[in-house]
Structure 1
Amino acid sequence: MLLLPAFTPDAISRLEPKTRKICGELIDRFASNNGCDAAADYAQHVPVAVIAHMLGLPEEDGETFRRWIQLLLHDGIAEDVSFRKALDEMDDYFRQHIAQRRSAGGEDLITFLLKARMADQPLSDEHILGTLRLLLIAGIDTTWSAIGSCLWHLAQHRDDRRRLLSEPALMPTAIEEFLRAYAPVTMARQVAKETTVGGCPFKEREMVLLSFPAANRDPEVFPQADRVVIDRTENRHAAFGLGIHRCIGSNLARMEITVALEEWLARIPDFELTDPASVIWSHGPVRGPRKLPLVFK
Structure 2
Amino acid sequence: MTSLTRRLPLGVTHPTVFDRIRQSGVIAATVVALCGAVYGAGLAGGRPIPRVAGGALGPDATLLAPAGPAFAIWSVIYLGLAGYAIWQALPSQAARRRQRAVGYWMIASLLLNAAWILAVQAGLLALSVPLIVLLLVVLVVAFARLRHEPGGTTADAVLLDGTVGLSLGWVMVATAADVAAWLQAAGFTGFGMTPEVWAMVVLTALAVVACALAVWDRGRLAPALASAWGLVWIAVSRVVGGLPSAVVAVTALAAGILVVMVAVAVRVARGGRVRRS
Q: Same fold (TM over 0.5)?
A: no
TM-score normalised by length of structure 1? 0.29
Greater RCO structure (CA 8 Å; 6+ sep): 1
TM-score normalised by length of structure 2? 0.30
Q: Which has the higher helix share?
A: 2
Q: Which has the higher strand share?
A: 1
